[in-house]
Structure 1
Amino acid sequence: MKILNAPLLALALAIPLAACGEKPAANAPDTETTIGAKVREATDKARKELAEGNVSIGSDGAKVELTPSGDLLINGTSIPLNDSQRAITLQYRKQMIGVAEAGIEIGVQGANLGAKAAGEAIKGLFSGDTDKIEERVNAEAEKIKASAMKLCDQLPALMVTQQQLAAAVPAFKPYAKMDQSDIDDCREGNVDVP
């Protein structure tokens, strides 16, 4: 059996991906690939569900949710809230959604970067101009890093609101697990928000 050389094999495997990545959808931003547009379509649905549905808070074993009206549900039981507590719950929910939406946007940018990188590699192989590929891909990757830092910038305010909610609603206190290490880890590139 004859062995294909690696660049030719890589080219053959990447052509379908690049073809998908090069044609932007009709309603997509100028920098968005078809793959990115498909991801955005799915994430728009997720954004709608965030806005209209309950927001879950990560916890060990318990199901903790914030409703669009500001109710706090723990294992399906609504915790009684006064107006002040409900205001903090709504603020916390709004901030949680902001962090989730920032994460969604980073995902869309990542999908676009993957498709663009494949397209750049194929263009470089066909044109023989492979020198600038890494530079162009790295420039796009820097934009994603900047978006990640914007997500990280939201975490201190989220933590403050979480602490306010834990102080105002004792039933929530066991689930208020975010601390400074979460913010520090985010800034170091290890995003894992509770």
Structure 2
Amino acid sequence: MLLTLCTCVAACDMPDFSYSGENGKATLNGNVLTLHVDSSPDATIGSSGDFTVDGKALPLAPAQRGLLVLYYQGVTDIREQASGMKAGIVAAKNAFAAKPDADAKQKLKDTVVSQAHQLTVKMCQDEANLKTVQDQLNAQVPAFKPYGDIFRARSAEDCIKDNDNDND
């Protein structure tokens, strides 16, 4: 059954991770990050910093390639935090399904809230770091500019507040 599920997922070509930003979307499939922005062709960034626009590889200086590697890594960091949150939700649902007593339920709730907050803090910091790299790419790689507004300009603190308010 697991093999069938994996085959179905692979057949659908489902992305490993997708982030919809203010002005576009970043999708991570395997080791290729694709940037989607209206009125611009798709761009891809490989794990080694390769950068293509509309399927055409662009020449890069070592510093530019390094920034693209950091950008790619930033997206994978956010994906890891999001995956951790999803796994935590599943684990919490399973734990509550066992119908713990009131004291155990409160401890479990406190643990879940604490871990979710820790993951949110890490993800928000990753997003702020990624925005910094995105801004550097905008300045140093002219071909990146159409894709340079996907991640929002907000501080990690604002991100945490936004997420805390969503969970109230």
Normalization by structure 1: what TM-score?
0.60
CA deviation string 1:92-131 (max 9, x = no partner): 1122211211211121111111111111x2x44xxxxxx3
1:182–1:72 distance in 2 versus 1, CA, 3 Å: farther
Q: Secondary structure at the match of 2:163?
A: coil
| Corresponding residue for residue 68 of structure 2 | 89
Mark the runs of 5 or more structure 1 residues left unpaired by the alignment.
Answer: 1-41, 125-130
Distance 2:105 2:57 in 1: 53
Q: How is 1:168-183 mapped onto 2 (pairs within 5 angstroms)?
A: 168-177=140-149, 178-181=151-154, 183=156
Q: Secondary structure at the match of 1:135?
A: helix
Cα contact 1:85–1:169 (8 A) shared by 2: yes
Structure 1 residue 135 corresponds to structure 2 residue 116: no
| Corresponding residue for residue 188 of structure 1 | 162
Distance 1:179 1:147 in 2: 19
* Larger strand fraction of residues: 2
Q: Secondary structure at the match of 1:101?
A: helix
| Corresponding residue for residue 123 of structure 2 | 151
1:188–1:87 distance in 2 versus 1, CA, 3 Å: same
1:148–1:99 distance in 2 versus 1, CA, 3 Å: same
| Corresponding residue for residue 28 of structure 1 | none
| Corresponding residue for residue 35 of structure 2 | 57
Distance 2:38 2:155 in 1: 16
1:187–1:65 distance in 2 versus 1, CA, 3 Å: farther
Distance 1:85 1:168 in 2: 7
* Larger helix fraction of residues: 1
Distance 2:37 2:104 in 1: 43
- Structure whose CA Rg is larger: 1
CA deviation string 1:22-78 (max 9, x = no partner): xxxxxxxxxxxxxxxxxxxx9xxx59xx69621223533642221122111223222
Cα contact 1:95–1:158 (8 A) shared by 2: yes
Cα contact 1:51–1:68 (8 A) shared by 2: no
Distance 2:36 2:154 in 1: 16
Q: Secondary structure at the match of 1:80?
A: coil
Q: How is 1:63-142 mapped onto 2 (pairs within 5 angstroms)?
A: 63-119=42-98, 121=99, 123-124=100-101, 131-132=102-103, 134-142=105-113
Q: Secondary structure at the match of 1:180?
A: coil
